[in-house]
Chain A
């Protein structure tokens, strides 16, 4: 779609200290458009050490990142696309998935906060946030590692807020406004997101990975239910979602025993 590298026009680069959060978002860099907030934040990390909790926000990403090779698509000015810089150097590399779990919970929390109480907001393994069966937010986290511990992380969050119409290939996407049936204040949702991220990050830091895992399982779509999966070879099977292991693999109980699956090994159907 965007083959041409668009020169970045920085209209406003402001440091806001107005946001009432613990430490997330005390420094915010805002852009009308950026190729990718994650790339920009990562670039900052390579140049110097920005303060922990610094946020890069773009109204529009021209090359938003999804999973390796995929793109994150979001309409301009309607949604939230931002990246948060963290230094989770207390977290062992092999437990890095806990950071992903904590951040998915933070997004789940803020979505639930802004929707009517009867709406079930869940985390779909590994870290999508869904309402009903539709995706409202996705995460992409980049870490730098040295030895056995994390050094720095850039947590990229894409949260659909006021977009009402999605192209056909994004049929399984939704937004807060679609579900709430009214427009929301993006700034307000963003400030609340900073609070929930600070809370969940604090939980991970102070209570450890077990506490995060407990809450993650409580919010996990399909947990302890019978789910139908399709394997890479096209065969399907059913099993009970039994949990998630330390590295983030899905544990599924089947009649012949427990199996574990990586992200691309199975697909939920």
Chain B
């Protein structure tokens, strides 16, 4: 791996919500931890699992914490790596999701994460939200609906891509009420 490739990798990781990235190829080993890693750690959350984004060369990464019901996906081909890293659906470290509270869509429409195309999103993974705080907009037939959260907690997952259609009652966000 060249220095330039590593630089590019760091850039991509910074843009993503990954906490940790490990790559092992023969003797070569690389570990990159982003600010999200320390955010999770600071909160005393269970050890953040490295995302299963890796090159085919990655072999036994020190056991990621993955629930038994979801087997760790086979190492995807390297071409998927970028896609996963830049996907706008934010993935939290995988852990028990039963204690999370879902914020659901109250209507059929289009989901928007920001008040306008050139504005930052209302909330992102890791943000602390309060009751009554606006988390997204659902647009339906020229009606722009700002959705307020009914729970306080921390956003652990954004379940829908920006600007994509949502159904009534579809889960939009997972919130850790702790």
Binding site for B on A (CB under 8 A): 67-69, 93-94, 96-97, 99-100, 126-127, 139-148, 151, 247-249, 262-263
- Contact A148/B106 with A68-B117, A69-B117, A142-B146 known, Cβ cut-off 8 Å: yes
Which of B107, B138, B143: most chain A Cβ within 10 A?
Answer: B143
Residue pair B117, A93 in contact (C-beta under 8 Å)? no
Please tell me if B99 contacts chain A, counting CB pairs below 8 Å.
no
Please, which residue of chain A has its CB at the minimum distance from the CB of B106? A93
Q: Is the CB of B144 within 8 A of A96?
A: no
Residue B134, interface by CB 8 Å: yes
Q: Is residue B77 within 8 Å, beta carbon to beta carbon, of the partner chain?
A: no
Chain B residues whose C-beta falls within 8 Å of the C-beta of A151 in the assembled complex? 148
Kindly state whether residue B11 has any CB partner on chain A within 8 Å.
no
Counting from the closest, the 6 A-B pairs by CB-CB distance are A93-B106, A248-B141, A247-B108, A146-B148, A126-B141, A143-B145
- Please give, as numbers and ranges, the residues of chain B lying within 8 Å of A93 by CB-CB distance: 106-107, 145
B134's partner among A69, A94, A144 (CB-CB below 8 A) is: A144
Cross-chain contact of A97 among B140, B148, B150 (Cβ < 8 A)? B140
Contact for A247 among B116, B132, B141, B144, CB less than 8 A: B141
Q: Do B148 and A67 have beta carbons less than 8 Å apart?
A: no
**Given the complex, which residues of A lie within 8 Å of B141, measured CB to CB?**
97, 100, 126-127, 247-249, 262-263
Q: Is the CB of A94 within 8 A of B148?
A: no
Given contacts A144-B134, A146-B150, contact A94 B108 (CB under 8 A): yes
Contacts of B168 in A (CB 8 A): 94, 247
Query: Hey, which chain B residues are within 8 Å of A143, CB to CB?
Result: 143-146
Contact: B145 with A100, CB < 8 Å?
A: no
Chain B positions within 8 Å of A, measured between CB atoms, are: 106-109, 112, 116-117, 132, 134, 138-148, 150, 165, 168
A143 to B107, CA, bound (A): 12
B7 to chain A, nearest CB (A): 35
Closest to B147 in A: A145
The reply to whether B144 and A141 contact each other, CB–CB distance below 8 Å, is yes
- B142 x A141 contact (CB < 8 A): yes
> Contact: B150 with A140, CB < 8 Å?
no
A151 to B134, CA, bound (A): 12
Contact present for B143 and A145 (CB under 8 Å): no
Task: Give complex CA distance A68, B108 in Å.
Answer: 17
CA A93 to CA B141, docked complex, whole Å = 13
Q: Name the one of A139, A147, A263 contacting B150, with C-beta atoms under 8 angstroms.
A: A147
Contacts of A142 in B (CB 8 A): 143-146
B134 — which chain A residues lie within 8 A by C-beta? 144
Query: Contact between B148 and A141 (Cβ–Cβ < 8 Å)?
Result: no
A249 / chain B contacts, CB cutoff of 8 Å: 108, 141
Complex CA distance for A249 and B167, rounded to whole angstroms = 13
Contact A94 B150 (CB under 8 A): no
The complex places the Cα of A96 from the Cα of B146 at a distance, in Å, of 12
